[in-house]
Each structure stands twice: as structure tokens, then as C-alpha cells.
Structure 1
């Protein structure tokens, strides 16, 4: 029985050391070295090797090295293969930092101040307490709930929207298409942390923007496929939205002549909102393998019908 890793060498070196120290009975190999293919039971990767059923005929679990699994082509995976997304505290903490920075920046008008600085203007804007700013998070999975908890500590009036009903202390919770408009109408800063699925692709478009209050702001730290770019540019042009912070695009990076690079109301970051932290991710992975060995439920198992 073998564990196979396919990814950046630096993270692989950290995980190899952790496995040698904490689970020496399980050989740890790094792609393209696979040893006996029939011995590989576990694979951790962002992108699995092609023809995975032929390459790794006895594979039991595919671990994503990130929080998302939309990069996997589920139709190319064996139907009985268990897929597990990464659930680890370092990744969650990084995302909370980014969302807090983005929301605070929009709340305190930092994009406007940057434009004023570049044009040589010294002009104060009204300072509002966080309690008067309504933040709404789309997607109440682990990352969304953690972000909402952090935003509540900062004093924001928080709400969350999810496909299925969720309950979070101190958060107004909405669910389903029937409650989406009500959620959007009370949201001054909209944060997208949804998984990317066929149902959520293109959700950040005119229909959502028109339901927000005039001058609302957007933060997208999930996937570029959620955003209809032309609708965002139109909403910024007509004032429906006043600013956007984007950490993701489709494709990445955008073309050099893409308007996102120079738009005065868009802050663009290169998909750095969060990243798997090698040490804590290795511990989470080892913990899941122990759970599997003892027949316990795994953390982060993906519902392949839903895609997350």
C-alpha cells in the first residue's frame, strides 16, 4: 500500500518528512515515481494523471491539495473513487485574512483614496462604523462560516446565503433561490465563497448586481467562473457597483489588454487569497488517513453529484 503525491516539490518535501515521522508504515512517493501502480491506494494532487483508472488501477482515495475540486473532471474518474477536498486550518486562516482585508478596505473607501492619491486629491470621506455596513457572504461552507465569524468580530452586520439552510450565531441566514433577492437587498459588500458548480457558474452577473443596493461592492475570492465579466464592467460603469476586489479570473492570468488590469474601480490580486499551508495540511492529511484506517468518516468527502 502506497501514498502518491503529485504537486510542487517544496510541499512534497514537507509531507514526505511528516509521513516518515508520523506514519512510516505507509510509503510516500512523489510523481512521476509510482513504484508498483497496483500498490498506490491514495493520491494527493491538484490535477490527477491522465487515464487514472489505467495508471492507478487500485486507487481508493483522491485527495485534492486545495479547498476546491472544480479542477477535477469527475467524468474521467472511476465512479467508485472517493474524492476528498482539503480541510486544514492554515488554508482557512489565510482566507479569513484576505476577506477581512478586502471588506475593511472597501468599508473604509480605500479604493477611492487610492484614486484620489493618484490624482493629487486630499479629500476626506465620511467615516462609518462597521456596524452600519452590511456584509453578505455567498457560500456558507467551512471557509464562508469562518469568514463570517471573523467579520462579526470586526463589528459588521453579517448575513450568509447558501444553497441549503444553515444556522450561524449572530448571522442572518438565507437559503435557496427564493431568499436570494432578500439577501442581496440587504448587502452593501457582497463576498463570494461559493464552490464552482454548473449551478453557480456565472452567478455573479446582472441578475445579482441589479438586486444589490446602489453603490454596493463585490469581493470574489472563489473562482473566476462565477463572474460574468461584461456584467461587472457594466455595473461599475453605471454605478450599480462602486468597486470590486477580485482574486480570481478565468483564465488566469487575464490577457495583457484585459480591462481588469487598469480599471480604476477594480483591485486585482493573483489568486493569493488563500493557499494550502504545507505543515498544517500534512497534519490534516495524516489525520484523515488515520480515520480511514479505523473506519471513521473522512473530513471533506465530496458529494460528486453536487460537485463539492
Structure 2
């Protein structure tokens, strides 16, 4: 029996991806995989660490010997908002692969809207050959990013490489090379200069429902794209979906690309599915790569057990 502390896995991910990653992870350490039916009634009091994504509601009562909780994704609202948590560190997943995927989705969607993706896709379906004469360049468009953590900063850097003008907003001012940034007091100025709004905010009490009609109505209406566009790959709870549908219908927003929703999966009766000016992706902008997640957890456990501080620990006061 290993003398390394046991680790608990409770991930509501694709089961095959977890099974492929586990044999290569946590060498010499006992792993309790709650995806295995044989472990569902097991005594969990011996587990010292837990890697979770939307875990069993009773997990933290049963696993009462934990020293740290590791989120299976960059977000932690799925833990903070749904459980009575013990007073111990909660660690976010920060990894190059996750960051790159998120930035790729943001760049992809910005280019889709810049290069008339909806119109050309419809022309293809209708077998119409028609070049759109007006074609703005990326340099003509200002992308405003709300949320300037690791993901937002990387998206900003990659959008700048593509030629977009990029500005950023966060509640407390951040410094990012080559990007003009705003804090809470500068929100209206930030919105008024934004042609494409990118939502990468964490979900907190302050950000729940922040993307509403009042906010959308403050976006730039004089930009090269003919109206403001909204992208959200942060958290679904940050958008007021009733307002969002209304704004996409009445022209307050020209278009949107949405990867996250208040309720997931998005219900088949949601009007967002059928709106011709909306891209819907199934919370796939930055899916966690399980092998990378487990490497991240191993590195953090190694730090903790060698007396070093954990990285990427969540501030429960701010919610991220």
C-alpha cells in the first residue's frame, strides 16, 4: 500500500476521457474514482484530495478528511454556489491547453462575424454566388473583453495578432501590454467603444445577469460591423437570456456567439436555437483535457506536500 495520500475523482465529464487518463495519472497514489459504481457507497473519509466537476451533493460530508479541492475547470461557481464547503483551499484549473482552446474560440467567433459568416453560409445553402462588397478589416473593429484573468489576457494577445483593436474591462484595473484597460468606474466608456463584446467573467453575485438590455444598449452603434455583437464563453449565469433574445430580435444586438447558458444543456424549446443571427456551441469553447487536468493536480499536490504554497487558489470573497 502506498504511503501517498489518497485522491478522490468525481468528474461529470465524458466517461471515456476520464478512463483513458487515469492509468497514466497519480502514480503510487490510491485513486478513488466515483465514476466506478463499485466506489459509490465506499467510505471516503480516507481521501485527502478531491478533483471535482459538479460532484455528488453529498460528497463533502462523506469525504471529511480533505486537505484541498481541485476544480475540473477554470470556473469554480459549480462548487461555491451549490455546496456547504469545508474551510480548505479550492484550486482553479489553469493550463496552457485550456487557455489556448478558449482563445481559439474567441478568435474564431470574432473572425466569423468580421467575415460575414452567417451570410456566406446561407448563400452556400441557397447556391448563391455573391461577393459582399463591404469588407471591414480587423483593424477597423474594437473588441472589448470583460474579464481579464488568464483567459482574457491570452484572448486579448491573440486578437491583437489578428489585427483587432482590443480593450479590456475588469472590476479592478489590470495592466496588459498593448491593451487599454478600464475598471468598474469606466464601464460605460468601455462599452461605448466596443463593437464586439467578449464575456469571460467568472460567475459571482456581482456578475450574475450582468449582460442585460441595459448593458447591451450602451455598446457602440457606429462601428464597421453595422451593430454590436456579443460573445459569451464565460458563464451562462452572467447573461439575462430573456433580454438577450429580445436584443437579438429587435436589433439592439446585431448578432451573438454563445457557448454557455443559464441552464445546460440548452433546452430544445429555447428561442436561441432558431435565431438566424446566433451561433450556439455546447459549452465546448475550452473543454478540459483530462490528462492536462490531472497533470495540473499532480503538480499542485507535489507543491503542497513539499511545503510550497498552492497556486491558483480561489478567493472565496471574490468568487474566483
TM beyond 0.5:
yes
Computed over aligned residues only, the root mean square deviation of the Cα atoms, in angstroms, reads 1.9
For residues 18-75 of structure 1, what are the alpha-carbon distances to aligned partners after superposition, in whole Å with 9 as ceiling and x for unaligned? Answer: 335xx42x22221152865332110001123333443011111111111111111457
Q: 1:29 aligns with which of 29, 32, 37?
A: 32
- Which residue is equivalent to 1:285? 297
User: Structure 1 stretch 273-282 or stretch 59-68: which is displaced more?
Assistant: 273-282
* 3-state SS of 1:250 partner: coil
- Which residue is equivalent to 1:163? 171
Unpaired runs of at least 5, structure 1: none
Instruction: Provide the TM-score with structure 1 as the length reference.
Output: 0.92
Q: Distance in 2 between matches of 1:75 and 1:253?
A: 18
Q: Distance in 1 between matches of 2:48 and 2:21?
A: 17
Contact 2:60-2:86 at 8 Å conserved across structures: no
Deviation at 1:94, TM superposition (A): 0.9
* 3-state SS of 1:76 partner: coil
- Which residue is equivalent to 1:271? 283
Q: 2:181 aligns with which of 163, 173, 182?
A: 173
Contact 2:25-2:295 at 8 Å conserved across structures: no
- Which residue is equivalent to 1:64? 71
Q: How does 1:210-229 map to 2 (within 5 A)?
A: 210-214=217-221, 215-229=227-241
Q: 2:242 aligns with which of 230, 240, 245?
A: 230
- Which residue is equivalent to 2:89? 82
- Which residue is equivalent to 2:19? 13
Instruction: Provide the TM-score with structure 2 as the length reference.
Output: 0.89
Deviation at 1:248, TM superposition (A): 1.4
- Which residue is equivalent to 1:154? 162
Deviation at 1:212, TM superposition (A): 0.3
Unpaired runs of at least 5, structure 2: 222-226
Q: Distance in 2 between matches of 1:257 and 1:47?
A: 24
Deviation at 1:120, TM superposition (A): 5.7
Number of corresponding residues: 304
- Which residue is equivalent to 1:206? 213
